[in-house]
Amino acid sequence: MEGFTSQQILEDSVGISDVVSGDAPTVRSKKCRRVAVIGGGLGGLSVAYYLRLAGFDVTIFESNERVGGRANLIEIAGYRFDTGPSLLNYPWVFERFFAASGRSLYDYVTLKQVDPSIRFVWPDGQSFSLSSDICRLRQEVASVDPCSASRLLEFFADAAAKYRLAFDKLVLRNEDNFFSWFLALTLREMTQTSVWRSMHSELARFFPHERIRAAFGSYAMYLGGSPWNLPGLFTILPYGELAYGLWLPEGGIYVLVQAVETLLNEVGVRIIKGKRVSRILCDGNRVTGLEFADQAREEFPLVVSNVDVPTTWASLLKLPRHRRLAMTPGVMTFYWAVRGTPSGLGHHTIFLPQDMKKTFDDLLKRKSIPEDIAFYVSVPSATDSSLAPLGGSTIFILVPTPLLSELPELQFPEMRHQIRSKIMARLQMHGISIPEETILFESVWDPAAWRDHFGLFDGSAFGAAHNLWQVGPMRPRNYDRGIQGLYYVGASTTPGTGMPMVLLSGQMTAARIVSHVC
């Protein structure tokens, strides 16, 4: 499968070249050069970097002792767990990020391709694996449904066209008006986007077999949605992963975060950790600075918030005036340090339910923990043995849950036991045995923990939802229309959630600031 270069994708996007080209624009006055970034998640790190390259004086204030936000780290007795992201795709975004300051990603990180990438398993034991090797993938799909296998190339051709269209003309544009955004497409291109169809119906155009639709549709979970509520354009998710591969940095995802932090230090971004911002200060409709948890204040003419957008509105601006957003669900994540290597588990496995629609409806419509849960298990030590002591394994399990406001918070400790038992029963059903006595350490983060660690609104793991009304110009903008000098970056603003996307979000917000200030 042939991809296309990051250069092509990014150079065509409106406004972005301002902050990635070698000739960074100069900032008009010294006074307006000072920028505070609240939060050192990947989005905050990205915007700080691009602004620094454009000549700004940038300080990041991060409340935790480590940057990375959701992409964080738990280390215990030689076991190393990435807290959130475990699937690295679109490495071209990271390559381009490092190249913006004339560096190479590969001088900082070694990436290992994980192929076969993800294995899908159904309750009756049927399974198939994804691979970027098209012949191998075809065989795998054919083992479930030969008819679907014969449509695979057609699906890729269609999704590849959508992917190009998305990155060339839609995703990266700092456009405020829906009509200007969408009308930049020709009639043919509009038809190609399939935004009026759901991702599930779009998959049904190619794949007659429900299980193949379920497997490719499960990528909706990456955006915290379901294939029935995400627009058809999102078939670019499985395509993007297969075309550009699925990767693991040697040493785990956090090594990539550390590489980004090193890069920022090299270009001169100031990073202050353990510093919680309690309020964004404004004078009328203009931002003036920040107040910190220790009551100290500091003046800044420009502030970028990397704190989840609705948390910024509610907690840092204390303004109830903002719009109500549909949020992606919460997650319960388990981190197990295990003695031994469980057989039957590869690096990435998704355990799918018997009836995927019912499971998604339980979660997203009935707002309850599904009877038959869908969950994801990652054993990164299967690819990189340095992540666990000799003979040990690191196991990460992710289960989507309702939001805190949908399920009384008090129920979560009880839920934890229920969900854990369901996971154990399902693993046993497939002959995968992880005896309790081999679990040497366990940590569990429920949606309240995710909220408390990183300020995630309502415990939503992936930020604002990606339904048709919250994509492109309809997503919360990366600047505040009511408060001059205040900007946003990260998963709940444009373009959306995921590590590559928030890196691009930083680039877009920086381009926005440059266009306003310079």
Ligand X SMILES: Cc1cc2nc3c(=O)[nH]c(=O)nc-3n(C[C@H](O)[C@H](O)[C@H](O)COP(=O)(O)OP(=O)(O)OC[C@H]3O[C@@H](n4cnc5c(N)ncnc54)[C@H](O)[C@@H]3O)c2cc1C
State the helix-helix crossing angle for 152-165 and 236-244, rounded to 10 degrees.
Answer: 100
Of 61 and 219, which has the nearer Cβ to ligand X?
Answer: 61
| Helix (H) / strand (E) containing 119 | strand 118-121
Question: From the CB of 295, what's the least distance to ligand X, in Å?
Answer: 14
Helix (H, G, I), strand (E, B) or coil at 306: coil
The DSSP result for 141-166, as a single string, is: HHHH-HHHHHTHHHHHHHHHHHHHHI
Contacts of 121 (CB under 8 A, 6+ apart): 127, 349, 350, 351, 352, 430
Helix (H, G, I), strand (E, B) or coil at 215: helix
Across the strands, what pairs with 487? 304, 479
Question: From the CB of 218, what's the least distance to ligand X, in Å?
Answer: 13
Question: From the CB of 224, what's the least distance to ligand X, in Å?
Answer: 9
Q: What are phi and psi of 433, to 5 degrees?
A: -110, 125
Please choose, from the candidates 246, 253, 247, 225, the residue with its C-alpha nearest in 3D space to the C-alpha of residue 137: 246
C-alpha span between 170 and 503 (Å, rounded): 16
Of 193 and 505, which has the nearer Cβ to ligand X?
Answer: 505
Of 100 and 304, which has the nearer Cβ to ligand X?
Answer: 304
Joined tokens for residue 379 = 């054993």
Kindly list the residues in this chain that would bind ligand X in the complex (CB under 6 A).
38-44, 61-64, 69-71, 84-87, 276-277, 306-307, 331, 333, 398, 454-455, 461-462, 490-491, 497-499, 502
- Displacement of CA 95 from its chain's centroid (Å): 17
Helix (H, G, I), strand (E, B) or coil at 193: helix
Of 231 and 455, which has the nearer Cβ to ligand X?
Answer: 455
Question: From the CB of 100, what's the least distance to ligand X, in Å?
Answer: 18
Of 276 and 297, which has the nearer Cβ to ligand X?
Answer: 276
Question: From the CB of 189, what's the least distance to ligand X, in Å?
Answer: 26
Of 150 and 405, which has the nearer Cβ to ligand X?
Answer: 405
C-alpha span between 481 and 372 (Å, rounded): 44
Question: From the CB of 493, what's the least distance to ligand X, in Å?
Answer: 8
Inter-residue contact 375 to 397 (CB < 8 Å): yes
Q: Omega before 500 cis (within 30°)?
A: no
Question: From the CB of 503, what's the least distance to ligand X, in Å?
Answer: 9
Question: From the CB of 126, what's the least distance to ligand X, in Å?
Answer: 24
Of 201 and 315, which has the nearer Cβ to ligand X?
Answer: 315
Joined tokens for residue 314 = 């509610």
| Helix (H) / strand (E) containing 448 | helix 447-454
To the nearest 5 percent, what fractions of the chain are helix, strand and coil?
Answer: 40, 20, 40
Q: Omega before 116 cis (within 30°)?
A: yes
Question: From the CB of 37, what's the least distance to ligand X, in Å?
Answer: 9
Alpha carbon distances (Å) from 151 to 204, 207, 215: 11, 7, 15
Inter-residue contact 235 to 203 (CB < 8 Å): yes
Question: From the CB of 275, what's the least distance to ligand X, in Å?
Answer: 7
Side-chain-side CA neighbours of 422 within 13 Å: the count stands at 22
Question: From the CB of 181, what's the least distance to ligand X, in Å?
Answer: 22
C-alpha span between 119 and 113 (Å, rounded): 15
Of 398 and 423, which has the nearer Cβ to ligand X?
Answer: 398
Of 306 and 494, which has the nearer Cβ to ligand X?
Answer: 306
Question: From the CB of 330, what's the least distance to ligand X, in Å?
Answer: 9
Of 149 and 345, which has the nearer Cβ to ligand X?
Answer: 345
The DSSP result for 6-37, as a single string, is: HHHHHHTSTTTHHHHSSSPPPPS-SGGGEEEE
Inter-residue contact 330 to 400 (CB < 8 Å): yes
Of 114 and 491, which has the nearer Cβ to ligand X?
Answer: 491
Of 141 and 277, which has the nearer Cβ to ligand X?
Answer: 277
